C-alpha cells in the first residue's frame, strides 16, 4: 500500500514543517508532562513513542495501520500504565491509537469514496445508533464514551478490512498479519510462566490485561492456523506448513494455562465439528486431548471447580458459573418493564450492581454476559440491533461455502465462537481481541462479496 503524501509535489516540505512544529510543541510541554508522570517511567516513555507514531502516521498512514495491528497485541500493560486522567475520564496513548484507527478509516473513505461499502456498513447502524442513545442517557458518561468509541473503532477496523481486501491474496495477507501479531505474546508467555507458574492461582495472561483476553485471542489464532493449513484458498509451502504445525501446540498450551473454560469449550467444539465434517481421523486426537489436559493440575482443578459451590447459601462461596447465574437472575428481576425496551444507559450496569446484587454491595462489575449487559444498558431494541449485526455478517460470509467449504466453515466458526463465549464474558469490551476479530470478519465479508465477480482460488503465498 502506498500513500499519496509521498507523491504530491511540494508535499515533503509541509510534512517536515509539521513534524518540526510538533516537536517544538511537545518540547515545550515536557515539563508539564514530567510533572504529571510523577514516578511512573512508562508515562515518560509514552512521549517519544507518541512522537514516533505521529511521524510514521504523517509519512504513510497505511503503514502506520500495519504497525498498529502488528504490535497492538503487546500493548495492553504498557498503555494502561501510561494513562493520563482529567477527573473521572482517563485517556492515554491507547485512546489516541483508537482515534487514529478511526481517522485512518475516514481517510480511506475520503480517498476513495466510491468504494465505501454501504451495504456492509449498514449492518452496524442499529447497534451504533442505540449505543449513541445509551451514551446520552448514561449514568456513567466517562465510561460510556470509552465504550462507544471502542465500538466505533471496531466498525472502523471492519471498514478498513473491506477497503483493503480486494482479492484472495489480500485476505491471506490479513490472516498472516494477525497470526504474526501473536509471536511476541507467545515468546513473552515463556517468561510469564517461568516467573509466576508456582504462584497460587496462576493464570497465564502474557502481554494482555487479563487471562481471559489472551484465551480468546488464542482461540482466534488456532482457527486461523487451521485455515492456513486446510483451506485451499491459502497455499502453504512445506516450510510454512511445518512452522504452523509446530506453532499450534504452543498456542494450545498457552490457552490451557489461561484456565479460561469458555475458550476451551468453544475451541473444542470448532475442532470437533471440523473433524466430523471434513476429517474424521482427527476425532482420535480430540478424544485423547481431554485425557491429557486433565492430567495438568491447574486444568483439573479448574474443571472440578464447576462441581462445587452451585447452591446459594449464606456465606458460602459460589463457583464462577453459579455466581454468574445468580447475577443474571438478579439483573432481570430488578429491571423495570419499560426499561427492558430501551435500557438504563450505556455502561450503567456497573453503576447499579451494588443496588440490586445482594451478594456484593461494594464492587462495580460487568454482567459477564454480553446479552444480559446490552439488555440492561440499551434494552431489547439495542440487543436486537447487536444480534442483527452478526446475523448479517453470517449471511454475507455464507457464500464462501460454495467456493471452498472448509474456508467458509472456519470463517463462520469464528463468529459462532464469539457468540458462544459472549454468554459468559464481556467480549465487546476486549478491544485488542475485537480489532483482530473484526479485521478477519471484514476481510471475509469483502472476499465473499467479491466472489460472485472475480474471486477464484489463488495460489496464495507462503509464510
pLDDT tens-digit map of 149-160 = 999 999 999 999
- pLDDT over threshold 60, residue 210: yes
**What element of type H or E holds 91?**
strand 89-91
Q: What is the pLDDT of residues 309-334, one digit of tens each?
A: 444 444 346 667 788 888 999 999 99
Q: Can you give the residue ranges of every domain in the chain?
A: 4-293+365-451
Using 50, 70 and 90 to split pLDDT, how confident is the model at 84?
low
Calculate what percentage of the chain has a pLDDT beyond 90: 47
What distance lies between CA 448 and its chain's CA centroid? 22
Calculate what percentage of the chain has a pLDDT beyond 70: 74
* C-alpha cell read off for 222: 488456532
Using 50, 70 and 90 to split pLDDT, how confident is the model at 460?
very low
Using 50, 70 and 90 to split pLDDT, how confident is the model at 56?
low
Pairing of strands 89-91, 84-86: antiparallel
Residues 6+ apart with CB under 8 A from 403: 233, 451, 455, 457
- pLDDT over threshold 70, residue 55: no
Can you give the pLDDT at residue 80?
63
Using 50, 70 and 90 to split pLDDT, how confident is the model at 9?
very low
- pLDDT over threshold 90, residue 447: yes
* Residue 90 φ then ψ, to 5°: -120, 135
DSSP state of 346: T
Work out the average pLDDT over 225-239: 93
Output 144-151 pairs: Cβ under 8 A, ≥24 positions apart: 144/345, 144/346, 144/347, 144/348, 145/89, 146/95, 146/347, 147/346, 147/347, 147/428, 147/429, 148/346, 149/95, 149/98, 149/99, 149/102, 150/98, 150/428, 150/429, 150/431, 150/434, 151/127, 151/428
Work out the average pLDDT over 16-41: 55
Q: Is the dihedral of CA 352, 354, 356, 359 positive or negative?
A: positive
- pLDDT over threshold 80, residue 34: no
Per the CB < 8 A criterion, the answer to whether 350 and 366 are in contact is yes
Per the CB < 8 A criterion, the answer to whether 385 and 129 are in contact is yes
Q: Which of 1-10, 133-142, 194-203 has the highest mean pLDDT?
A: 133-142
Q: What is the mean pLDDT of the chain?
A: 82
The answer to pTM > 0.75 is yes
- pLDDT over threshold 80, residue 112: yes
Can you give the pLDDT at residue 273?
94
Distance CA 88, CA 227 (A): 43
Distance CA 207, CA 291 (A): 29
Can you give the pLDDT at residue 44?
52
- pLDDT over threshold 80, residue 415: yes
DSSP 137-199: T-S-HHHHHHHHHHHHHHHHHHHHHHHH--SHHHHHHHHHHHHHTTHHHHHHHHHHHHHHTTS
Can you give the pLDDT at residue 222?
97
Distance CA 294, CA 152 (A): 41
Can you give the pLDDT at residue 16?
61
- pLDDT over threshold 90, residue 13: no
Can you give the pLDDT at residue 50?
59
Work out the average pLDDT over 236-254: 93
- pLDDT over threshold 50, residue 1: no
Residue among 61, 76, 83 nearest 6 (CA): 61
Work out the average pLDDT over 268-286: 90
Does residue 25 or residue 57 have the better pLDDT?
57
Using 50, 70 and 90 to split pLDDT, how confident is the model at 274?
very high
Q: How far from 1 is each of 36, 66, 71, 420, CA to CA, in Å?
A: 39, 10, 18, 36
Q: What is the pLDDT of residues 177-191, one digit of tens each?
A: 999 999 999 999 999
Give the angle 177-224-63 at the CA atoms, nearest 5°: 10
Q: What is the pLDDT of residues 330-348, one digit of tens each?
A: 999 999 998 899 899 999 9
Amino acid at each position: 500500500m502506498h500513500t499519496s503524501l509521498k507523491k504530491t509535489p511540494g508535499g515533503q516540505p509541509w510534512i517536515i514543517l509539521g513534524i518540526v512544529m510538533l516537536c517544538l510543541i511537545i518540547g515545550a510541554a515536557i515539563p508539564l508532562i514530567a510533572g504529571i508522570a510523577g514516578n511512573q517511567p512508562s508515562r515518560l516513555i509514552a512521549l517519544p513513542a507518541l512522537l514516533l507514531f505521529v511521524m510514521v502516521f504523517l509519512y504513510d498512514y497505511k503503514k502506520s495501520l500495519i504497525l498498529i495491528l502488528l504490535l497492538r497485541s503487546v500493548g495492553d500493560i504498557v498503555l494502561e500504565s501510561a494513562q493520563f486522567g482529567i477527573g473521572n475520564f482517563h485517556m492515554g496513548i491507547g485512546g489516541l491509537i483508537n482515534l487514529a484507527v478511526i481517522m485512518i478509516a475516514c481517510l480511506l473513505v475520503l480517498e476513495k469514496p466510491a468504494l465505501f461499502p454501504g451495504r456492509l456498513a449498514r449492518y452496524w447502524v442499529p447497534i451504533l445508533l442505540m449505543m449513541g442513545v445509551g451514551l446520552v442517557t448514561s449514568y456513567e458518561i466517562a465510561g460510556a464514551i470509552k465504550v462507544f468509541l471502542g465500538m466505533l473503532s471496531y466498525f472502523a477496523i471492519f471498514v478498513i478490512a473491506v477497503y483493503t481486501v480486494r482479492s484472495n491474496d489480500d485476505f491471506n495477507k490479513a490472516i498472516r498479519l494477525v497470526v504474526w501479531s501473536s509471536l511476541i505474546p507467545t515468546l513473552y508467555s515463556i517468561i510469564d510462566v517461568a516467573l509466576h507458574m508456582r504462584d497460587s492461582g496462576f493464570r497465564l495472561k502474557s502481554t494482555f490485561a487479563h487471562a481471559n483476553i489472551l484465551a480468546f485471542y488464542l482461540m482466534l489464532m488456532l482457527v486461523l492456523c487451521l485455515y492456513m493449513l486446510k483451506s485451499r484458498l491459502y497455499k502453504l509451502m512445506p516450510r510454512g506448513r511445518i512452522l504452523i504445525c509446530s506453532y499450534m501446540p504452543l498456542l494450545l498450551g498457552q490457552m490451557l494455562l489461561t484456565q479460561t473454560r469458555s475458550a476451551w469449550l468453544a475451541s473444542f467444539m470448532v475442532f470437533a465439528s471440523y473433524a466430523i465434517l471434513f476429517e474424521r481421523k482427527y476425532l482420535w486426537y480430540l478424544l485423547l486431548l481431554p485425557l491429557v489436559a486433565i492430567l495438568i493440575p491447574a486444568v483439573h482443578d479448574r474443571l472440578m471447580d464447576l462441581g462445587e459451590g452451585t447452591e446459594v447459601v449464606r456465606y458460602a462461596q459460589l463457583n464462577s458459573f453459579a455466581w454468574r447465574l445468580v447475577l443474571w437472575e438478579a439483573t432481570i428481576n430488578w429491571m423495570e418493564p419499560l426499561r427492558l425496551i430501551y435500557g438504563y444507559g450505556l455502561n450503567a450496569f456497573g453503576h447499579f450492581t451494588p443496588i440490586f446484587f445482594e451478594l456484593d454491595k461494594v464492587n462495580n462489575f460487568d454482567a459477564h454476559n454480553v446479552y444480559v449487559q446490552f439488555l440492561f444498558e440499551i434494552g431489547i431494541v439495542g440487543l436486537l440491533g447487536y444480534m442483527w449485526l452478526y446475523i448479517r455478517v453470517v449471511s454475507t460470509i455464507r457464500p464462501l461455502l460454495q467456493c471452498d467449504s472448509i474456508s467458509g466453515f472456519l470463517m463462520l466458526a469464528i463468529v459462532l465462537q464469539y457468540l458462544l463465549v459472549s454468554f459468559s464474558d464481556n467480549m465487546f469490551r476486549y478491544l485488542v481481541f475485537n480489532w483482530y476479530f473484526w479485521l478477519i470478519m471484514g476481510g471475509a465479508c469483502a472476499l465473499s462479496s467479491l466472489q460472485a465477480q472475480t474471486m477464484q482460488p489463488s495460489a496464495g503465498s507462503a509464510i
